[in-house]
Structure 1
């Protein structure tokens, strides 16, 4: 009897873990976490603090982003079923129902919006949160199946979370530091998308989703991609130049981060004859952004350490 009870509990626990994992996949949890980190990064650049408000801001953006990602899974379910890299997602694979997906999306979006209201009872953060949902789910998502221009509202979507973080910290729209942060995150979106495109180019060609592969060769796309990587790398240097990052050794590390990124892409695209490792480049691009945010946090901790004690 004990053996049967133990087996039943183990089976129940395994089913629960699988269900939770599926829910996290729907919410695109790693991507949502990175986006919430961008909001927290902008917050601490404006107002170094490790108190309740920045943490609530980060959590609220994470939950709101998870809701938008879940809704995106619902919207893309037919397109995902046609692409090899996405056909095993919960909805196209039939692992979860449409109703359950929509319930999760609505629940997370409402909780995320409520969190933003707790951060700031004024309408500003709520409007930005609503704008993010509108831009991502009702402009970018339907447009990407029709036009390559969808990449531009997609870039705007990536700029809104750090804007939320900045305003939550008491910042205003007229700050050049804010616009430098937004430009950095917006510029990162473009090479990120093109690397995903090159990494899964056969999949994209089969899906017939409008993309640059129908107009340009992979060699031409690599040249455009490298140019945008350089622009992004230069943009990461804006915060030290604007004295938003002031610790000397952190400034040098930010410069090293930018140089390593450009050098790696230059080596892969111009010194290697073939066998481009797009996956490693995508990882490096993402890591460079995470590194930039982490260094910004380190700078703030060093500069304002007495306030944290």
Structure 2
């Protein structure tokens, strides 16, 4: 359990806290005494404190210098045989008043502690052989810097967000018209570039706010801010410039409605969703709202910013059909990924449903995967977005997706790890969304965009 949160150690000790199971427990992780001293643990009822009173630590060999950041505090902690028998015989696992915790009876000057941070003040009393190995960063070339900005903007996620906005633009049955093919291409390119810049800005702010947490996760510790290849000032400047440029492109090249939605999405993702991840599990639902807004940006760009009469139920259903799909798809996609990353999320202190309640996490994923079936098979054709042929083809795509989500739920329900089922569901979700968008555009009932293209081409031929 390297670099796990103290609460996870508490839960582990609680599950083994009996005379029969505790002697069999062997912890491979950070020295628990460091947790107690760093967090000023003075509670006599803390299981970590109690375990420290009669446990024994065996530190692991000093790792190489390039691995000191990750393995500088690992040790094996266990209950010695002689002590475990004495404790088991007395059935008393709670230390009495005469046996206090080590750090309550010894002076801090008599012990050498290995810190968890890299700050210079925390390594003053660390032995020279255990100090963090610092090295000078190499010079960054312009091409390398562009690659770092690509990582800062999460290029693959930005591409997927831009794709969903383009799907909203294409599925809108109405278009602004009046400008022919030239106006259509200009609006389409402005929408794509504006959404991409807004997404890059939100992702940059997200990474800048989560540097201390990303550095603790194997999946994210290679990001440019964690490796210090880019400074936080770089991230802030990049985020501000990309955000202002994205909103400006949407306002000048598209319309004010699309620009407002783009600015709102930046704020919702960076100022609400990002800090909420360490506060409450509702962050997943807020993140799903963030994913549902880009199709609305594309729809508003297509219809000239006029969303029309929202009192018309059928028109409202057509407007919200694709955002509903994006919102619903987020749960099977993210919950399966969160299940695979639950140890890392727990170590960083993220409030994720996969950490607090894995069974409910799988139930939410399955519920939304099943809801995808009537959403695409009925709402899309009924609202007039697609023909009824989309009802059959989308069912052929959504039924296996729902089955994989149901298998994920059954694995967790049976108290099995469920990692294989979660991995299959996550990989399927990466294919499911693009195919759903392509099928929806293939089965589209009508398109004013095609009429504009034809009108623009005929007008050009007449002028020639």
The TM tier, using the shorter chain, reads 0.7 to 0.9
Q: 1:213 offset after TM fit, Å?
A: 3.8
Q: 1:67 offset after TM fit, Å?
A: 1.2
- In structure 2, the CA distance between the partners of 1:16 and 1:298, relative to structure 1 (3 Å rule), is farther
- Pair 1:128-2:261 in alignment: yes
Q: 1:143 offset after TM fit, Å?
A: 1.3
Q: 1:178 offset after TM fit, Å?
A: 1.1
**What RMSD in Å do the two structures reach over aligned CA positions?**
2.6
48-57 vs 149-158, which moves further: 48-57
- Pair 1:235-2:368 in alignment: no
User: Any stretches of 5+ residues in structure 1 without a counterpart?
Assistant: 1-13
- Pair 1:257-2:401 in alignment: no
Structure ID, larger Rg: 2
Contact 1:261 1:284 in 2 (8 A): yes
Counterparts of 1:56 and 1:305, CA distance in 2: 16
Aligned residue pair count: 293
SS, match of residue 236 in structure 1: helix
1:224 alignment partner, one of 364, 389, 400: 364
Q: 1:270 offset after TM fit, Å?
A: 3.5
2:161 alignment partner, one of 13, 25, 35: 35
What is the TM-score with the length of structure 2 in the denominator? 0.58
1:184 alignment partner, one of 325, 328, 331: 325
- Pair 1:84-2:218 in alignment: yes
- Pair 1:94-2:94 in alignment: no
- Pair 1:169-2:302 in alignment: yes
1:285-300 pair list within 5 angstroms: 285-300=429-444
What residue in structure 2 maps to residue 152 of structure 1? 285
Counterparts of 2:282 and 2:317, CA distance in 1: 27
Counterparts of 1:214 and 1:201, CA distance in 2: 5
Counterparts of 1:53 and 1:116, CA distance in 2: 9
Q: 1:69 offset after TM fit, Å?
A: 0.7
Counterparts of 1:234 and 1:24, CA distance in 2: 38
Q: 1:300 offset after TM fit, Å?
A: 4.3
Q: 1:269 offset after TM fit, Å?
A: 4.4
Q: 1:34 offset after TM fit, Å?
A: 0.9
- Pair 1:201-2:342 in alignment: yes
What residue in structure 1 maps to residue 242 of structure 2? 108
Contact 1:74 1:102 in 2 (8 A): yes
266-275 vs 196-205, which moves further: 266-275
1:278 alignment partner, one of 409, 412, 422: 422
Q: 1:305 offset after TM fit, Å?
A: 9.3
Whose helix fraction is larger, Structure 1's or Structure 2's?
A: 1
Counterparts of 2:282 and 2:351, CA distance in 1: 9
SS, match of residue 147 in structure 1: coil
- CA deviation map 1:99-149 (0-9, x unaligned): 11112111111111111012334x322221221111111111111121112
Specify which structure has the bigger relative contact order, considering alpha-carbon pairs within 8 angstroms and separated by 6 or more residues: 1
What residue in structure 2 maps to residue 4 of structure 1? none
Counterparts of 1:247 and 1:56, CA distance in 2: 32
SS, match of residue 148 in structure 1: coil
Counterparts of 2:349 and 2:244, CA distance in 1: 34
- In structure 2, the CA distance between the partners of 1:155 and 1:77, relative to structure 1 (3 Å rule), is same
